[in-house]
Chains A and B, each alone.
Chain A
């Protein structure tokens, strides 16, 4: 099973273009003719990924978004199939319009690569794959990391090396545009763009070096699984048990969380209904509860640990990668300001 997404290795020579700032809107308008465009837009004081009805809504100067773009691939609510009184099952059509996630940051591209592993390994998930196959990624290198970002520690930013169809870097007077896949090249061909001079690659590194100096948070990954395994019974977990409200916000905003719950919804006619899956969270009490009420993670510290250990220890044997991309959303959203980088520092005695 392979998903037809960007494969950098097919490209011996990267193709570089210059996209002047004035040509951004015309480019988006061209793309909109054939694709649904999804990009960062302003919502109150925050940013969210949303379908763009007008290119003017796009806000590429965002630092992070409330929810990761995962939400357009692994839907918060998704109908699996309908069923009827006569016990017939009707599968939901998995046709999917071609879409572009425009302006996605390197951390979120890495997170999608992790979801690809979770959803296409053994028992490929047809609902995810149908959307993924029809989704192109026009990524944007980070020039202004946010206060909670720590992708630099995990090698998932601020520079993206692969996994994109197109990659933008804001050089001030316009964008350096790099092609990462055959589908990306098709996108570029809708515009008459001038090739970028080789010196643009130097300018790009200047922008990224400048970004690298701005990170305020870091997560030391050296021997991380070993340190966490040794400290499974550390007092810090009991302290966190009293701090954490177990609200599940950290997992809702996580770009690599994939857990879901399944519910049957009966229609008002009581003759038909649909089976639906919904995002779920290991932080919630009911998550590990079975019939007769037994709960395998009744205590809140067990749930706090499950989230952090899954991200930083268990993803590696499961999917060959860390489960955290350093996007900082869980830190930003936590009511009690629990900070995963701080938890690790404290475990290390720093």
Chain B
């Protein structure tokens, strides 16, 4: 019988240091069959094992068109991720997945796309950007609003030029600029970028990921600008020990975030008795 709890062995192929506490790892499954069969959709996650340390849910941050080598962008803040920071290319980890529903790129008839990310929240949205670039003619206006704490903490800066060349409008902001750092751009929280954005509610889907407090203000600001709860999608973080609706940890009301999410329409969250996104908007 298939064992959904058994990780497959994967090798670290490459390590890219993104910021002081965040790293992008490129992985590939050791087993050829597993490697060939692995497919994922933007917004899905894997359970990442370091044997002897534990297992953690981490979103996939690379292009779904290249599933044989996939990436996880990891912030080193937990037991598993801190240990991962000590590992080298060639080291072996365990990976199982992908899990979750992902962003509804193929479910919705989306014309325009507004992506709003904060900090590490850009990681699960990067596969969306890569897929949109690959399928650019299918989409109309695509706009990305991205905020980080400081200029040095913006993820994937080397790719911004390519995104812009693909016709994606990219607006950046930082919370603060440390002295000695060159920064010509906007200073402020990500919702400050609403004044500059050209996205409008008509025929637009919004995908947002970041700290819940950020997402609560994003949703509040969007609703005030005429966006509807049905067109706003958020990706939630919860504790997960299994990824397959068994351990129970990730439940919010009747939803299992690991399987029914982690991406939810905001309208769906409004039906839950428990407050989500700090209950900022109800």
Chain A interface (Cβ within 8 Å of chain B)?
80-81, 83, 87, 89, 91, 94, 118-119, 121-127, 129-130, 228-229, 232, 258-264, 266, 273, 275, 277, 280, 282, 287-292, 296, 302, 305-306, 309-310, 313-314, 316-318
Neighbour of B251 across the interface among A119, A123, A314, CB < 8 A:
A314
B247 to chain A: closest residue by CB = A260
Which chain A residues lie closer than 8 Å to B92 at the CB level?
A: 87
At the interface, yes or no: B106 with Cβ under 8 Å from chain A?
Answer: no
Shortest beta-carbon distance from A277 to chain B in Å: 8
> Which of A94, A264, A309 gathers most chain B CB within 10 Å?
A264
- Complex CA–CA separation, A51 to B92 (angstroms): 42
A-B contact count (CB 8 A): 118
A128 to chain B: closest residue by CB = B246
Contact B245 A289 (CB under 8 A): no
Q: Using an 8 Å CB-CB cutoff, how does the interface string of B82-102 with A read, 1 for contact, 0 for none?
A: 000000000010100000000
Say whether, besides A89-B6, A259-B247, A291-B77, A314 and B241 are in contact (CB < 8 Å).
no
Interface residues of B in 96-123 (CB under 8 A from A): none
Say whether, besides A264-B52, A292-B77, A310-B251, A122 and B239 are in contact (CB < 8 Å).
no
Contact A80 B245 (CB under 8 A): no
Which chain B residues lie closer than 8 Å to A87 at the CB level?
A: 9, 51, 92, 94
Neighbour of A119 across the interface among B2, B7, B246, B256, CB < 8 A:
B246
Which chain A residues lie closer than 8 Å to B238 at the CB level?
A: 288, 290, 296
Known: A124-B1, A287-B239, A288-B239. 7 other contacts (CB 8 A): A123-B244, A124-B4, A280-B247, A289-B239, A290-B78, A291-B81, A314-B251
A271 to chain B: closest residue by CB = B52
Chain B interface (Cβ within 8 Å of chain A)?
1-7, 9, 51-56, 75, 77-78, 81, 92, 94, 237-239, 241-242, 244-249, 251, 253-254, 256, 259, 273-274
Shortest beta-carbon distance from A170 to chain B in Å: 37
- Complex CA–CA separation, A260 to B241 (angstroms): 8
> Which of B51, B238, B274 gathers most chain A CB within 10 Å?
B51
B51 to chain A: closest residue by CB = A83
- Complex CA–CA separation, A287 to B251 (angstroms): 11
- Complex CA–CA separation, A258 to B53 (angstroms): 24
Shortest beta-carbon distance from B94 to chain A in Å: 7
Contact B51 A264 (CB under 8 A): yes
B258 to chain A: closest residue by CB = A123
- Complex CA–CA separation, A297 to B32 (angstroms): 42
- Complex CA–CA separation, A329 to B274 (angstroms): 26
Which chain B residues lie closer than 8 Å to A81 at the CB level?
A: 3, 5-6
A290 to chain B: closest residue by CB = B239
Neighbour of B249 across the interface among A229, A259, A313, CB < 8 A:
A259
The main secondary structure of chain A at its interface with chain B is mixed
Contact B251 A262 (CB under 8 A): no
Which chain A residues lie closer than 8 Å to B273 at the CB level?
A: 228-229, 232, 309, 313
Say whether, besides A91-B3, A122-B259, A290-B239, A260 and B246 are in contact (CB < 8 Å).
yes
Shortest beta-carbon distance from A60 to chain B in Å: 33
Contact B52 A258 (CB under 8 A): no
Contact B245 A122 (CB under 8 A): yes
Say whether, besides A121-B245, A259-B249, A289-B239, A89 and B7 are in contact (CB < 8 Å).
yes
A118 to chain B: closest residue by CB = B246
- Complex CA–CA separation, A126 to B78 (angstroms): 29
- Complex CA–CA separation, A87 to B52 (angstroms): 10
Neighbour of B54 across the interface among A89, A263, A290, CB < 8 A:
A263
B8 to chain A: closest residue by CB = A89
Contact A123 B1 (CB under 8 A): no
Say whether, besides A122-B259, A129-B1, A229-B273, A317 and B247 are in contact (CB < 8 Å).
no
Neighbour of A262 across the interface among B3, B242, B256, CB < 8 A:
B242
Shortest beta-carbon distance from B258 to chain A in Å: 10
Neighbour of B1 across the interface among A126, A229, A232, A260, CB < 8 A:
A126
Which chain B residues lie closer than 8 Å to A313 at the CB level?
A: 253-254, 273
Say whether, besides A290-B239, A302-B274, A266 and B251 are in contact (CB < 8 Å).
no
Contact B248 A123 (CB under 8 A): no
Contact A262 B241 (CB under 8 A): yes
Contact A314 B246 (CB under 8 A): no
Contact A280 B245 (CB under 8 A): no
9 sampled A-B residue pairs with Cβ under 8 A: A80-B5, A87-B92, A89-B9, A228-B273, A258-B248, A277-B247, A280-B248, A290-B239, A309-B274
- Complex CA–CA separation, A118 to B251 (angstroms): 13
